[in-house]
Amino acid sequence: DVKVTQSSRYLVKRTGEKVFLECVQDMDHENMFWYRQDPGLGLRLIYFSYDVKMKEKGDIPEGYSVSREKKERFSLILESASTNQTSMYLCASSQHTNPNTEAFFGQGTRLTVV
């Protein structure tokens, strides 16, 4: 069974903390994505990566960075967490060369910043 695994389902962090959200996929996918989901706004792309050590900004990269040292792992970093980063974070992966294949999602991490 193919899988995208996010390291935490729920996280509570304090304002100003550095936060790491980890995502691992076992499908040998080239593409990996981080989205943020907020009510009424749908899924907004934060960053994506189409290869190891490659990263591209999405629509809302401010306050975030990413790391992809290995093909299967894509980490999202909140440099200094703020309350407006309280949200659901979703990681996904897909094949790089076929636009007709779907994205596979992790279970999501619900982050609360207090």
Partner 1 sequence: AQSVTQLGSHVSVSEGALVLLRCNYSSSVPPYLFWYVQYPNQGLQLLLKYTSAATLVKGINGFEAEFKKSETSFHLTKPSAHMSDAAEYFCAVSERGGSYIPTFGRGTSLIVHP
Question: Interface with partner 1 by CB under 8 A: which residues?
Answer: 4, 9, 31, 33, 35, 40-43, 45, 48, 50, 56, 58, 90, 92, 94-103, 105-108, 110
Instruction: Encode burial over 19-58: b for 16+ CB neighbours within 10 A, e otherwise.
Output: bebbbbbeeebbbbbbbbeeeeeeeebbbbbbeeeebeeb
Name which of 19 and 47 has its Cβ closer to partner 1.
47
Name which of 40 and 84 has its Cβ closer to partner 1.
40
| H-helix segments, the chain | none
Smallest distance from the beta carbon of 103 to partner 1, in angstroms?
A: 4
